[in-house]
Amino acid sequence: MLWQLLLFVWMSLVIVAGFLYAPLAEKLYEMTRIIYFHIPAAWVAVLAFLVSTVFSIRYLATRAWGDDARAAISAELGLLFAVLATASGAIFAKAMWGAYWNWDPRETSIFLLLLIYGAYLTLRSAVEGEDKRARLAAVYNILAFVTVPFLVFVVPRLYFSLHPDPLLNAQARLEMHPRMLQVFLASLAGFTMLYFWIFDLSWKVARLKRKQEEAP
């Protein structure tokens, strides 16, 4: 209970600091603040995919229902955060570049992540039988995962990008102010904790449901 409270205070502070403490970046004006919410959401969407794949691989090795359940939970959470990142990104794109959608390489990647999550969850709903569902879903998840590097590293090379890249790009066009970096990293940590907390809650619910089903 203590650390949930701590997380609540932490995230509240991040929101306040994003508006009052951190300075604005050059050329981005008021839109700077999206850095503190959009990027962490996108990061969690990718992290959730990674966690989901790790559990899928584990499922194929152990064949334990819990591994499959956790892969599914992580995929559902990833879908949620991917939607958040896509929606906030589209609003930013409208304000910055004049259109909600431009098929910018990063827009393409996050859209693809959405499609993969959607396909994975659709496949789960289309297969009957717990073992078979778990097996097929795990295979699909891993196959999708091995093609992701192509998106992250290859597609951006083929298309011109407008995307501001403050952290990942070596010759960054936007220099991050120390204060901005503090708030950004704090938000990144907060979002990551939030993800693990929801993940843990869903996993508890799944275990309780399972127990209830098995009880006579």
Partner 1 sequence: MPWVEGVLAVFLKDWRSEFRTRYALNAALLFAVTTLVVVSFAIGAFGISGDLLAAFLWVVILFSSMAGLGQVFIKEVESRTFTALRLVARPSEVWAGKFFFNLVLLLGLEVIIIPLFFILLNPRVSDWGGFLAILILGSIGLAGATTLIAAIIAQAKGKGALLAGLSYPILIPLLAAATSGTRHLFRGDGSAGQETQILAAYAVVVITAAFLLFEFVWSE
User: Which parts of this chain interact with partner 1 (CB under 8 A)?
Assistant: 60, 108, 112, 115-116, 118-119, 122-123, 126-128, 131-132, 135-136, 138-140, 142-144, 146-147, 150-151, 154-155, 157-159
Check: CB of residue 61 under 8 Å from CB of residue 208: no
Rg (CA), the chain: 19
Nearer of residues 60 and 206 to partner 1, judged by Cβ: 60
Please report how close the Cβ of residue 83 comes to partner 1 at its closest, in angstroms: 15
Rank residues 97 and 150 by Cβ distance to partner 1 and give the closer one: 150
DSSP string for residues in 27-77:
TTGGGGGGHHHHHHHHHHHHHHHHHHHHHHHHHHHH--HHHHHHHHHHHHH
Cβ-based burial of 187 (10 A; exposed 0-12, middle 13-18, buried ≥19) = buried
Nearer to partner 1, 24 or 162 (CB): 162
Q: How far is the CB of 37 from partner 1 (least distance, A)?
A: 26
CB nearer to partner 1: pick between 16 and 126: 126
CB 142 within 8 A of CB 56: yes
Q: State the minimum distance, in angstroms, from the CB of residue 199 to partner 1.
A: 23
Cα dihedral across residues 33, 34, 39, 45: positive or negative: positive
Q: Shortest approach of partner 1 to residue 138 CB, angstroms?
A: 7
